[in-house]
């Protein structure tokens, strides 16, 4: 979330001097802003990092991959935004990945990621990310670090509470940030919010072999806003918890109108029960339209299909499926501890940090210990389900992560710090300042049943004086703290891309052993692949010219092409014949108003080019691939529309010896 309005609100409504000075005021007795034990983050040249850190790219729409503890950037994975560096969203094959029911969308805002788990522990298969703006979930394959699938979510507007996964990655779950009118007539006055606006949460099934996602069912909810969520695990496996705000159902000036009530909610969903209702035929079919985009590693091509239907459960038909738990003031993060017994709600405007007990929730439900209902849904009594409150933890709690030793780490935006506390007795154990105004935080394995621990990383909203200035916008940044001792120790600042929100870290050993080195050329099933120089050719089909080209160190075949005419669309289908790790070739042609192509070993990729004038257009390889990379180039001739220059093509037809004749 962006915090501008939140800050204003806090300054207006709370009086603590520290708040007005926020962001960046330093709690007493903390170490100085500079320094830190940088040696602890040092990874010597040629040595590997211990963890991969998958970090959301915020408004860049991408996901980034860093090493921990070095903070070195390894990769920007293009997900929801076009990326000229890799030709993503520009190559003909990748364009379908960004298709939606609103057409091709070149940008989105990625806030949260989730690494797949088995039995509640990281398994290193996939990482999921959310598109916050035009609601979608992406699945990235961790063998190739490529976006393998993007599924749009209908009946959603602002897919913030997402993606969160169940213990065995049975489901990826997504809650809508904005409630909106659903179904047939959505053209209604905004001030009919209370009658007409509804929320949904979506349970997206994941095929355990292929990873393929499908919307299993949606649950209709009252017209509130969903912020974040977590699955239960261990004893609470089968349940899901969502933080909700705007229980006031305000539709204007939310910073005031959605902060009226003393408490909002955490919504507890019994998804095993929901599954039973779906099986029993309680879900209604609803006609909708949403894009389902899949990448095929064999054809090196994305396809986009419009899905037409979704199953919706209405809680009115499904008793004992969802419950509300009161949670102080506008909860943001909602995090379950490694045992699954404790659920931490972080009320952004609250002075305490409530911790709920799953056992008490179950007991209260069994005893029908309700304080009333909200839109027909039972509301549990706060005191009955509360494990306890962390007293005076800090100001503006946002998110909580866990280590494997019974400790929790909560980020505090307003007081700009990480606070370590004991889950069992709720005592504050330590606090360190962050520079500045931390949003999310991450402990390696923090959301799993078996956290890997060792570090906590702060993803900050404001950078101020931490790095060399770069004009009005400073780099985004993160900070790493060593948590192996009793006290947290700052060991490194590192810049990040976009605005980082949630991130997860996983031991490198769980990923690197599976990392794919090449695509096998014999498995290339692209319909336009040229799997050897003898398959290269140029074919005219009316106003379309198809160039079937290969690339290998250090030439293109063909590299001289003639017979293109004004008014033609030229499709370069280029196959990289290399079968060697880390030898992509690039392709760029003068005047192309798209991007380059960056083609992996064994892959085929297509660029569409429409010449805008006659003449000779050079093309070249953009990735320095050999000592003769600079020689890896060619020419294409474009003649006037009526010209009778025939199609011709070749490479090395004119050898240097004949050239001297
Ligand atoms: Cu940045 Cu997860 Cu969108 Cu909190 S949210 S910070
Ligand atoms: Cu191929 Cu440079």
pLDDT digits (tens, 9 = 90+) for 318-372: 999 999 999 998 899 999 999 999 999 998 888 889 999 999 999 999 999 999 9
For residue 157, CA distances in Å to 176, 284, 561 come to 6, 20, 49
Separation of alpha carbons 72 and 231, rounded Å? 31
How many angstroms does the Cα of residue 618 sit away from the middle of ligand 2? 14
Judged by its nearest atom, the ligand closest to the C-alpha of residue 440 is 1
Separation of alpha carbons 430 and 453, rounded Å? 16
Strands of 341-434 (E only): list them. 342-347, 353-357, 370-374, 377-380, 386-390, 397-402, 407-412, 417-422, 428-433
Q: State the CB neighbour count (10 A cutoff) for residue 421.
A: 24
Judged by its nearest atom, the ligand closest to the C-alpha of residue 553 is 2
Letter string b/e over residues 15-41, b meaning 16 or more CB atoms within 10 A of that residue's CB: eeeebeebbbbbbeeeeebeebeeebb
Judged by its nearest atom, the ligand closest to the C-alpha of residue 585 is 2
Whose CA is closest to 98, among 347, 302, 310? 302
Strand pairing partners for 326? 265
How many angstroms does the Cα of residue 576 sit away from the middle of ligand 2? 10
Ligand 2 lined by 621 (C-beta under 6 Å): yes
For residue 175, CA distances in Å to 16, 165, 229, 636 come to 34, 12, 8, 51
Q: Ligand 2 atom closest to Cα of 625?
A: 2
Ligand 2 lined by 555 (C-beta under 6 Å): no
Judged by its nearest atom, the ligand closest to the C-alpha of residue 619 is 2
How many angstroms does the Cα of residue 213 sit away from the middle of ligand 1? 24
Ligand 1 lined by 146 (C-beta under 6 Å): no
How many angstroms does the Cα of residue 557 sit away from the middle of ligand 2? 13
End-to-end CA distance of the chain: 70
Q: Tell me what percent of the residues of the chain surpass a pLDDT of 90.
A: 90
Ligand 2 lined by 623 (C-beta under 6 Å): yes
Quick check: 158 and 180 in contact, CB under 8 A? no
Separation of alpha carbons 590 and 622, rounded Å? 12
Q: Ligand 1 atom closest to Cα of 502?
A: 2
Ligand 1 lined by 111 (C-beta under 6 Å): yes
pLDDT tier, 1 (very low <50, low <70, confident <90, very high otherwise): very low
Burial degree of 52 (CB within 10 A; 0-12, 13-18, 19+) = buried
pLDDT for 28: 44
Ligand 2 lined by 569 (C-beta under 6 Å): no
How many angstroms does the Cα of residue 268 sit away from the middle of ligand 2? 55
pLDDT for 185: 86
How many angstroms does the Cα of residue 133 sit away from the middle of ligand 2? 37
pLDDT for 88: 98
How many angstroms does the Cα of residue 111 sit away from the middle of ligand 1? 6
Judged by its nearest atom, the ligand closest to the C-alpha of residue 587 is 2
How many angstroms does the Cα of residue 359 sit away from the middle of ligand 1? 28
pLDDT for 34: 60
* Statement: residue 35 has pLDDT above 80: no
pLDDT for 22: 44
Q: Compute the average pLDDT of residues 214-234.
A: 98
Quick check: 198 and 145 in contact, CB under 8 A? no
Q: Ligand 1 atom closest to Cα of 501?
A: 1
* Statement: residue 20 has pLDDT above 90: no
For residue 251, CA distances in Å to 107, 166, 247, 263, 323 come to 26, 32, 11, 18, 24
Q: Ligand 2 atom closest to Cα of 554?
A: 1
Separation of alpha carbons 32 and 464, rounded Å? 16
Q: Compute the average pLDDT of residues 519-532.
A: 98
pLDDT digits (tens, 9 = 90+) for 148-175: 999 999 999 999 999 999 999 999 999 9
pLDDT for 39: 85
How many angstroms does the Cα of residue 542 sit away from the middle of ligand 2? 32
CA of residue 333 relative to chain centroid, distance: 17
Ligand 2 lined by 633 (C-beta under 6 Å): no
pLDDT digits (tens, 9 = 90+) for 84-135: 999 999 999 999 999 999 999 999 999 999 999 999 999 999 999 999 999 9
638-643 contacts, C-beta under 8 A, 24 or more apart? 638/564, 638/565, 638/566, 638/611, 638/613, 638/614, 639/562, 639/563, 639/564, 639/565, 639/566, 639/614, 640/565, 640/566, 640/614, 641/565, 641/566, 641/567, 642/565, 643/565
Closest residue CA from atom 1 of ligand 2 = 585
pLDDT for 27: 45
Separation of alpha carbons 108 and 6, rounded Å? 22
Quick check: 328 and 352 in contact, CB under 8 A? yes
pLDDT for 259: 86
For residue 209, CA distances in Å to 125, 126, 170, 206 come to 10, 11, 11, 9
Letter string b/e over residues 512-524, b meaning 16 or more CB atoms within 10 A of that residue's CB: eeeeeebbebeeb
pLDDT digits (tens, 9 = 90+) for 533-549: 999 999 999 999 999 99
Residue 361, H or E segment:
helix 358-366
Task: Ligand 1 pocket test: pick from 178, 245, 331, 332 the residue with the most ligand atoms within 8 Å of its Cβ.
Answer: 332
* Statement: residue 598 has pLDDT above 90: yes
Separation of alpha carbons 21 and 241, rounded Å? 34
Separation of alpha carbons 624 and 582, rounded Å? 11
Q: Ligand 1 atom closest to Cα of 398?
A: 4
Task: Retrieve residue 11's tokens.
Answer: 């300054």
pLDDT for 33: 55
Q: Ligand 2 atom closest to Cα of 620?
A: 2
Closest residue CA from atom 3 of ligand 1 = 1
How many angstroms does the Cα of residue 397 sit away from the middle of ligand 1? 11
Judged by its nearest atom, the ligand closest to the C-alpha of residue 226 is 1
Strand pairing class (331-336; 322-328): unpaired
Q: Ligand 2 atom closest to Cα of 624?
A: 2
pLDDT tier, 12 (very low <50, low <70, confident <90, very high otherwise): very low
pLDDT for 163: 98
Q: Residue 421, by phi and psi: left (phi above 0), alpha (psi -120 to 50) or beta? A: beta
Judged by its nearest atom, the ligand closest to the C-alpha of residue 164 is 1
Q: Ligand 2 atom closest to Cα of 585?
A: 1
How many angstroms does the Cα of residue 629 sit away from the middle of ligand 2? 5
pLDDT digits (tens, 9 = 90+) for 249-273: 999 999 899 888 889 999 999 999 9
pLDDT tier, 24 (very low <50, low <70, confident <90, very high otherwise): very low
pLDDT digits (tens, 9 = 90+) for 410-467: 999 999 999 999 999 999 999 999 999 999 999 999 999 999 999 999 999 999 999 9
CA angle centred on 77, ends 71 and 80, rounded to 5° = 130
The full length of the chain comes to: 661
Q: Ligand 1 atom closest to Cα of 440?
A: 6
Burial degree of 207 (CB within 10 A; 0-12, 13-18, 19+) = exposed
Average model confidence (pLDDT) across the chain? 93
pLDDT digits (tens, 9 = 90+) for 471-505: 999 999 999 999 999 999 999 999 999 999 999 99
Q: Ligand 1 atom closest to Cα of 112?
A: 2
How many angstroms does the Cα of residue 220 sit away from the middle of ligand 1? 24
- What is the widest separation between alpha-carbon atoms in the chain? 99
pLDDT digits (tens, 9 = 90+) for 282-327: 999 999 999 999 999 999 999 999 999 999 999 999 999 999 999 9
């Amino acid at each position: 979330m962006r915090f501008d309005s939140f800050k204003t609100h806090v300054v207006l409504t709370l009086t603590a001097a520290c708040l007005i000075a926020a962001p960046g005021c330093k709690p007493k007795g903390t170490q100085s802003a500079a320094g830190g034990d940088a040696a602890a983050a040092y990874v010597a040249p040629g040595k590997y990092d211990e963890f991969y850190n998958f970090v959301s790219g915020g408004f860049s729409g991408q996901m980034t991959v860093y090493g921990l503890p070095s903070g070195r950037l390894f990769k920007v994975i293009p997900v929801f935004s076009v990326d000229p560096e890799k030709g993503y969203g520009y190559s003909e094959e990748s364009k379908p990945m960004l298709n939606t029911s609103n057409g091709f969308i070149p940008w989105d805002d990625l806030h949260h990621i989730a690494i797949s788990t088995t039995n509640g522990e990281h398994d290193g298969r996939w990482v999921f990310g959310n598109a916050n703006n035009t609601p979608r979930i992406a699945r990235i394959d961790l063998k190739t670090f490529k976006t393998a699938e993007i599924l749009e979510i209908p009946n959603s507007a602002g897919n913030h509470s997402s993606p969160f996964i169940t213990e065995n990655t049975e489901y990826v779950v997504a809650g809508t940030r904005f409630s909106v009118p659903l179904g047939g007539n959505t053209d209604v006055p905004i001030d009919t919010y209370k009658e007409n606006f509804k929320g949904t949460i979506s349970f997206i099934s994941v095929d355990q072999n292929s990873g393929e996602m499908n919307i299993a069912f949606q649950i209709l909810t009252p017209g509130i806003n969903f912020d974040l969520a977590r699955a239960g695990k261990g004893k609470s496996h089968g349940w899901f918890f969502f933080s909700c705000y705007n229980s006031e159902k305000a539709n204007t000036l939310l910073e005031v109108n959605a902060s009226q009530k003393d408490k909002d909610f955490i919504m507890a969903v019994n998804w095993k029960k929901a599954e039973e209702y779906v099986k029993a035929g309680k879900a209604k079919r609803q006609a909708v339209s949403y894009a389902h985009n899949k990448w095929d590693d064999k054809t090196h091509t994305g396809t986009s299909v419009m899905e037409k239907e979704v199953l919706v459960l209405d809680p009115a038909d499904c008793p004992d499926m969802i419950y509300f738990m009161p949670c102080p003031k506008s909860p943001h993060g909602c995090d379950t501890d490694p045992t699954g017994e404790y659920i931490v709600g972080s009320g952004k405007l609250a002075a305490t940090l409530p911790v709920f007990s799953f056992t008490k929730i179950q007991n209260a439900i069994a005893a029908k210990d309700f304080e009333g209902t909200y839109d027909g849904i039972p509301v549990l009594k706060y005191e009955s389900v509360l494990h306890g409150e962390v007293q005076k933890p800090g100001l503006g709690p946002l998110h909580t992560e866990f280590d494997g030793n019974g400790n929790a780490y909560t980020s505090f935006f307003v007081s700009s710090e990480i606070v370590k506390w004991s889950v069992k007795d709720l005592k504050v154990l330590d606090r360190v300042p962050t520079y500045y105004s931390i949003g999310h935080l991450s402990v390696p394995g923090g959301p799993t049943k078996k956290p890997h621990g060792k570090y906590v990383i702060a993803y900050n909203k404001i950078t101020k004086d931490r790095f060399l200035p770069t004009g009005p916008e400073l780099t985004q940044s993160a900070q790493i703290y060593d948590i192996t001792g009793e006290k947290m120790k700052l060991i490194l600042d590192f810049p990040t891309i976009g605005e980082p929100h949630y991130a997860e870290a996983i031991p490198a050993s769980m990923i690197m052993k599976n990392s794919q080195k090449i695509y096998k050329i014999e498995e290339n099933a692209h319909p336009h692949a040229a799997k050897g120089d003898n398959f290269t050719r140029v074919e005219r089909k009316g106003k379309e010219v198809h160039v079937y080209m290969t690339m290998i160190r250090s030439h293109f075949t063909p590299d001289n092409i003639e017979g293109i005419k004004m008014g033609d669309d030229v499709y370069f289908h280029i196959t990289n014949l290399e079968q060697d790790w880390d030898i992509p070739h690039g392709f760029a042609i003068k005047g192309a108003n798209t991007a380059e192509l960056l083609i992996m070993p064994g892959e085929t990729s297509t660029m569409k080019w429409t010449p805008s004038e006659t003449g000779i257009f050079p093309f070249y390889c953009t990735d320095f691939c050999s000592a003769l990379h600079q020689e890896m180039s060619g020419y294409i001739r474009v003649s006037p529309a009526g010209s009778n220059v025939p199609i011709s093509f070749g490479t090395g037809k004119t050898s240097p010896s004949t050239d001297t004749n």
